[in-house]
Structure 1
Amino acid sequence: MTISLKLRNYMDRCGVEFDEVPHAYAFQPSKAAEATHIPGRRVAKGVLVRAGDEYMMAVVPSSKLVAFGDLGRWLGREVRLADEQESVSLFADCELGALPPVGAAFGLQTILDEELLDAEDIYFEGGDHRTLIHVQGQDWRRLQHDAGHCALSA
């Protein structure tokens, strides 16, 4: 498996050019950052969360964790981590646990950590555990144009 077809189609619709960066198998985005010698702050990690009855995508640097309390306060409701089995139907064309941090491609509201707003370029999983997608900062912001943002990482 390579890049998710849903993600690829969304990036095409947004006019976003990207590079694929292959790497050794890495189950976590932080390990993919290490494998490719890219600083973790430049690798975006998607985390599927459940806020009330709604699934959302929280996006933080791979070197950080989602601060669920801060995110819940920002949203005004309780937030919990969704388990991997809950992601199967939402991310059917992705390997288990390889969630692209572009919720809009999958019909999900996205909340970005503020640290990812002004990046010159960003890397992220494209749907498998062997490929990072690289986009320029302006293209990253184009992909996330409907995303909310707050300080949500710890």
Structure 2
Amino acid sequence: MPVESLKNFLDAHQVRYVLTQHSPAYTAQEIAQSAHICGKMLAKTVIILMDGKMAMTVMPATSRIRWDRLSRAMGTDFIELADEEEFQDAFPECELGAMPPFGNLYGMSVYMDEELRELENISFSAGSHSETLTMSMSDYTDLVKPISITEGFVKPSATPPLQRHRLGRLQVHRHA
């Protein structure tokens, strides 16, 4: 059963969704594999502290945060990953680390990677490590009203902008 408050919220807004049961999975990539969802189509939720206040970031499971870029995009000097102990009480119905990307239900701002807006549907953990929920992206953005950001998220396979190689002496090569 998905988080009861999320289910009630979606039902009250007459939103169609599909709940998928899968074997327990704990990382975004494991969830995508267990639920048979392409990693770039599964949204993962990461809780951050921005200037001391908790906020939610939502990005494709295949992405990671570039803290320097995210800080610049948010216009702040201080952003860090929240410890699980810091936010576990904020999501009383959820298994630790399986929060759905509905910060509005938990009194948090939601910052979403603009790349997700291109998807027709969004899939995400539904409050447990063995359930995902899929709904239309348009319904999600209408209900959550996430703040879209275009910077701060990168794919792990992305070539770093600066690589160093030792060839007799240190040389710096820039990649476009």
Distance 1:45 1:112 in 2: 10
Q: Using a 3 Å threshold, how does the CA distance of structure 1 residues 80 and 133 change in structure 2: closer, same or farther?
A: same
Matches within 5 A, 1:120-139: 120-139=120-139
Tell me the equivalent position of 1:98.
Answer: 98
Aligned to 2:49: 50
**C-alpha distance in 1, partners of 2:67/2:143?**
24
Write out per-residue CA displacement over residues 17-47 of structure 1, whole angstroms, 9 at most, x where no aligned residue.
2110111100112211011221111100000
Q: Does the 8 Å CA contact 1:3/1:128 hold for their aligned counterparts?
A: yes
Give the aligned CA root-mean-square deviation in angstroms: 1.4
Question: Which structure: larger Rg?
Answer: 2
Q: Is 1:61 matched with 2:25?
A: no
- 1:26 counterpart = 2:25: yes
Q: Quick one: distance in 2 between partners of 1:41 and 1:8?
A: 24
In 2, Cα distance between equivalents of 1:113 and 1:66 = 10
Distance of 1:24 and 1:95 partners within structure 2:
15
What residue is the counterpart of 1:110 in the other structure?
110
- Structure 1: runs of 5 or more not aligned: none
Percent identical? 30
Provide closer, same or farther for how the CA distance between residues 9 and 70 of structure 1 changes in structure 2, counting only shifts above 3 A: farther
Question: Is 2:8 aligned against 1:12?
Answer: no
TM-score with structure 1 length normalisation? 0.92
* Residue 144 of structure 1, CA deviation: 2.7
- Map 1:61-100 onto structure 2 (within 5 A): 61-77=60-76, 78-100=78-100
CA displacement at 1:140 relative to structure 2: 2.1
Give distance in 2, aligned partners of 1:11 and 1:107.
17
Aligned partners of 1:135, 1:153: CA distance in 2, in Å?
23
Instruction: Pick 1 or 2: higher relative contact order, CA cutoff 8 A, min separation 6.
Output: 1
Deviation of 1:153 after TM superposition, in Å, equals: 1.2
Give the length in aligned residue pairs: 152
Cα shift readout 1:76-133 (whole Å, capped 9, x = no counterpart): 2210000111121111110011111121121110000011112111110010000000
Alignment check: 8 A CA contact 1:6 1:106 kept: no
**TM-score, normalised via structure 2 length:** 0.81
